[in-house]
């Protein structure tokens, strides 16, 4: 059965990772992650989860101290479409094999071309309308448009480059001068296209490309992300890929991560506007309440291995992988226990994250687990800290502990069976060695 | 100095293995540098350092064809780390395998 499943899954992983558009979007958003995490730290300080915090700091630094921090938060969270379009453009140019930073800048420019620059709602005394870009178009609601723009503009740019639609200068002009003109015609092609796109959308009922993509594409997709099954499907698929030894999130994130990102950002914007946050399935929820210790939620398993394992193999591996597991890294046990294609471990490995997701979803909907506050932390943040920081409540840390205990209870019987099997094997087999073990480094001198 | 570079999704678990391999190399006074990187940085890293051997973590073995297609012409060995050695983080065996492949490719 596993062989058959692998036959279907491997080509999917292969196709998704080879797809240049999806890789560019995934890698592009990865570039923006550190920026958003630093912004999150500023967001955390200005909304630190301690009652009376704001007044306490105000008594030292004076009222309005948050404004300075918000300048940083805002420049990361509120312009994600802008940083996104630049970095996706850069990554797509890399995939296409053309000048990377030129591609990124062309994408950024094209995005700005189709972004509305006036706000008729804001008119000053002289009757002049506000002129400039508004956060509303550069942040969350522009995210899907930023992906489309980056891919489309760089495609045009790369196409023109490949067609050699560049300015030819007479011999004798230094090559460096030639290079500086190389991007000119391709950039012009991309920009003129978006010049036309802007004219078309401005004259439709939508008024702008932003409104069109938001209503036609982003809102329905993000709507899917609000359905109860969304996170369960994501966790199930990610773990299923891991079971076959394929980095699951690396595959599934190509599709799910933009939706997670938008859901997270919407909570941030709701909190900022002072309205209730409604999105359960944020990146933080996915990282910190569905999975502990890497794919398959194996932190509990590793603890059991290290402290209850009887066979040498399990005990040693458990102790070796515990430090990494605390930070969410578990490849040593995925390949070492192994979990990959191990029928005994398939059931707990695939269903523990699903069960975590279901219990956390229920706990959130009945109000035990607070909703995550738009803060984004590295997925390596350890259990307990992560729960507290993303919700601002210790209840979340306690909830994480309860889930960890549940995970351990589920893994325990399966691990015991494996442990017994390994003990028997260890009793029989003497040390086996192969060619690599027989080789000494003296035989391997490189000239 | 030979460069043996490892790649996986975030360069995290491979960095654990890389540090173990580096330690073995130092113990045996081998002029080898072992480092780990996320696969998204592969282009820049290979362009800048032109490593003598490219190793992929077993969890990204699906990248193998893409990597060979892109960098195979450089003539350096590219291979996926054995998953048992990866699981036990056996730096010595992986390092030996890497040196063996480099020797084979240089003998050609």
Q: Rounded to whole angstroms, how far apart are CA atoms B79 and A92? A: 26
Residue B36 pLDDT > 90, yes or no?
yes
- Please state the rounded mean pLDDT for residues A356-381: 91
Query: What is chain A's alpha carbon radius of gyration, rounded to the nearest angstrom?
Result: 26
Give the CATH class of B2-107.
alpha beta
The vertex-A95 CA angle with A89 and A96, nearest 5°, equals 85
Model confidence over A273-287: pLDDT tens digits?
Answer: 888 889 999 999 999
- Please state the rounded mean pLDDT for residues B85-90: 87
Model confidence over A155-213: pLDDT tens digits?
Answer: 999 999 888 777 777 777 777 777 777 788 899 999 999 999 999 999 998 889 999 99
Q: Which residue has the tokens 């350092």?
A: B49
A129-131 and A118-123 strand pairing: antiparallel
Highest mean pLDDT among A6-10, A33-37, A138-142, A234-238: A234-238
Which is nearest to A195 in space by CA: A149, A162, A161?
A149
**Which residues of chain B does A331 touch, with a Cβ-Cβ cutoff of 8 Å?**
8, 13, 57-59, 86-87
- Please state the rounded mean pLDDT for residues A14-42: 84
- Please state the rounded mean pLDDT for residues A330-341: 87
**Does the beta-carbon distance from B89 to A336 stay under 8 Å?**
yes
Which residues of B belong to the active site? 8
Q: Rounded to whole angstroms, how far apart are CA atoms A257 and A255? A: 6
Q: Rounded to whole angstroms, how far apart are CA atoms B54 and A5? A: 29
Q: Which residue has the tokens 């933080």?
A: A284
Percentage of chain B beyond pLDDT 70 is 100
Instruction: Tell me if B81 sits within 8 A of B6, measured CB to CB.
Output: yes
Q: What is the pLDDT of residue A245?
A: 82
Chain B residues at the A interface, defined by Cβ less than 8 Å, are 2, 8-9, 12-13, 16, 28, 30-31, 40, 43, 57-63, 65-66, 83-84, 86-89, 93, 96-97, 99-100, 102-103, 106
- In angstroms, what CA-CA distances link A206 with A41, A110, A113, A154, A294? 37, 19, 16, 25, 43
Sequence-distant contacts of A309-313: CB under 8 A, at least 24 apart = A309/A415, A309/A419, A310/A419, A310/A420, A310/A423, A311/A419, A311/A422, A311/A423, A311/A425, A311/A426, A312/A422, A312/A426, A313/A422, A313/A426
Q: Rounded to whole angstroms, how far apart are CA atoms B14 and B81? A: 10
* Domain map (residue ranges) of chain B: 2-107
């Amino acid at each position: 059965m596993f062989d058959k499943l692998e036959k279907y899954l491997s080509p999917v992983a292969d196709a998704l990772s080879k797809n240049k558009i999806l890789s560019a979007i995934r890698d592009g958003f990865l570039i923006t992650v550190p920026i958003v995490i630093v912004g999150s730290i500023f967001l955390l300080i200005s909304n630190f989860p301690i009652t009376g915090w704001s007044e306490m700091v105000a008594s030292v630094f004076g009222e309005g101290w948050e404004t300075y921090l918000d300048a940083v938060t805002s420049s990361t969270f509120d312009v994600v479409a802008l940083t996104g379009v630049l970095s996706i453009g850069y990554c797509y140019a890399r995939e296409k094999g053309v000048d990377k930073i030129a591609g990124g800048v062309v994408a950024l420019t094209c995005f700005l071309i189709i972004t509305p620059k006036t706000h008729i709602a804001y008119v000053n005394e002289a009757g002049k309308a506000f002129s400039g870009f508004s956060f509303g178009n550069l942040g969350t609601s522009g995210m899907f448009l930023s992906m489309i723009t980056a891919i489309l503009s760089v495609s045009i740019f790369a196409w023109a480059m490949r067609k050699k639609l560049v300015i030819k200068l007479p011999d004798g002009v230094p090559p460096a001068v030639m290079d500086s003109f190389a991007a000119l015609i391709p950039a012009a092609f991309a920009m003129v296209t978006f010049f036309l796109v802007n004219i078309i959308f401005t004259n439709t009922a939508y008024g702008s490309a932003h409104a069109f993509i938001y209503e036609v594409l982003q809102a329905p997709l993000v709507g899917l992300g609000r359905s109860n099954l969304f996170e369960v499907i994501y966790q199930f698929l990610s773990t299923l890929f891991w079971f076959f030894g394929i980095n699951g999130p690396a595959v599934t994130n190509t599709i799910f991560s933009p939706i997670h990102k938008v859901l997270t950002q919407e909570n941030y914007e709701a909190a900022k506007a002072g309205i209730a946050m409604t999105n359960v399935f944020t990146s933080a929820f996915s990282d910190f309440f569905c999975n502990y210790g890497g794919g398959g939620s194996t932190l509990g398993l590793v603890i059991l291995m290290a402290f209850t394992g009887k066979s040498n193999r399990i005990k040693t591996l458990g102790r070796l992988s515990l430090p990494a597991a605390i930070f969410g890294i578990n490849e040593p046990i995925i390949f070492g226990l192994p979990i990959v294609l191990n029928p005994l471990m398939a059931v707990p490995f695939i269903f523990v994250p699903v069960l975590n997701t279901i219990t956390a979803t229920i706990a959130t909907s009945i109000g035990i687990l607070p909703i995550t506050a738009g803060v984004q932390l590295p997925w390596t943040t350890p259990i307990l800290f992560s729960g507290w920081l993303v919700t601002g409540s210790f209840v979340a840390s306690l909830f994480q502990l309860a889930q960890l205990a549940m995970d351990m209870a589920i893994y325990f019987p399966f691990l015991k069976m494996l442990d017994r099997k390994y003990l028997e094997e260890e009793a029989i087999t003497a040390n086996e060695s192969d060619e690599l073990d027989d080789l000494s480094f003296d035989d391997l001198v490189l000239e | 100095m030979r460069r043996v570079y490892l790649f996986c999704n975030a360069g995290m678990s491979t960095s654990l293995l890389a540090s173990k391999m580096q330690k073995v190399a130092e113990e045996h006074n081998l002029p080898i540098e072992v480092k780990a990187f996320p696969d998204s940085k592969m282009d820049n890293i290979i362009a800048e350092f032109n490593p003598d051997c490219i190793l992929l973590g077993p969890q990204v073995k699906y990248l193998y064809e893409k990597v060979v297609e892109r960098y195979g012409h450089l003539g350096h060995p590219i291979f996926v780390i054995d998953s048992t050695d990866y699981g036990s983080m056996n730096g010595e065996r992986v390092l030996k395998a890497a040196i063996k492949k480099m020797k084979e490719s240089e003998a050609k």
